[in-house]
Amino acid sequence: GFCSEVRPRPAPIKPPGTRPQAAAAITPPRVVPSAPPEIRPAAREEAAAETMAAVKRAYLAVYNWAVFFGWAQVLYFAVDALLRSGHEGVYAAVERPLQLAQTAAVLEILHGLVGLVRSPVSATLPQIGSRLFVTWGILWSFPETRTHILVSSLVISWSITEIIRYSFFGTKELFGSAPSSLLWLRYSSFL
């Protein structure tokens, strides 16, 4: 039948003349001391800060390389149109990529406002604002300006400048530093 009581099993019977074996040593589980409670929050805060720094760098790297490729597209289309149809066809060839690349720069104002970058908003705002004014306030609003010879010069010089700039910052965010040649171009190409 069923038994409600648990009884220990009897020890196995040993043949006569055998020595009793020593009991196997039982090792207690290893106890890892935990950090004092006052240290754990600081370590968590440090880990969270490291994670946020990595997310910030990844975001800025992606942003800079995406805008770099936008400007590279503008330069390619501008030079191709200039060679195929002259300065009159440059704006038509670059209109959408130019508008996207210039408008994406609005995020740089936001980056300064929320502290993602050290650039002061007071310096960034007029730079971005003036380019947006030319892109949307003049070129988009007044179609008769689009075929002027200086539009080709404007688009190509913007493209070269921004390709250097965004590749510099993209490389710096991705690898922690940029090569000296790119640093030189970044701060000397205006010459």
pLDDT-derived band of residue 172, with 50, 70 and 90 as boundaries? Answer: very high
pLDDT-derived band of residue 41, with 50, 70 and 90 as boundaries? Answer: confident
C-beta of residue 160 within 8 angstroms of C-beta of residue 189? yes
C-beta of residue 59 within 8 angstroms of C-beta of residue 117? no
Cα 115-117-120 angle, rounded to 5 deg: 80
Tokens matching residue 66: 């995406």
pLDDT at 5: 56
Q: What is the pTM (predicted TM-score) of this model?
A: 0.75
The whole-number average pLDDT for the span 162-166 is: 97
C-beta of residue 65 within 8 angstroms of C-beta of residue 53? no
pLDDT at 116: 94
pLDDT at 38: 58
pLDDT more than 90, % of the chain: 73
The C-alpha atoms of residue 40 and residue 37 are separated, in whole angstroms, by: 6
The whole-number average pLDDT for the span 29-51 is: 73
Q: Is the pLDDT of residue 26 over 90?
A: no
pLDDT-derived band of residue 190, with 50, 70 and 90 as boundaries? Answer: confident
Q: What is the pLDDT of residues 79-109, one digit of tens each?
A: 999 999 999 999 999 999 999 999 999 999 9
pLDDT-derived band of residue 45, with 50, 70 and 90 as boundaries? Answer: confident
More confident residue, 34 or 116: 116
**Residues in CB range of 1: below 8 A, 6 or more apart:** none
What is the domain partition of the chain in residue ranges?
51-189
Q: Is the pLDDT of residue 28 over 90?
A: no
The whole-number average pLDDT for the span 166-183 is: 95
Residues in the chain: 191
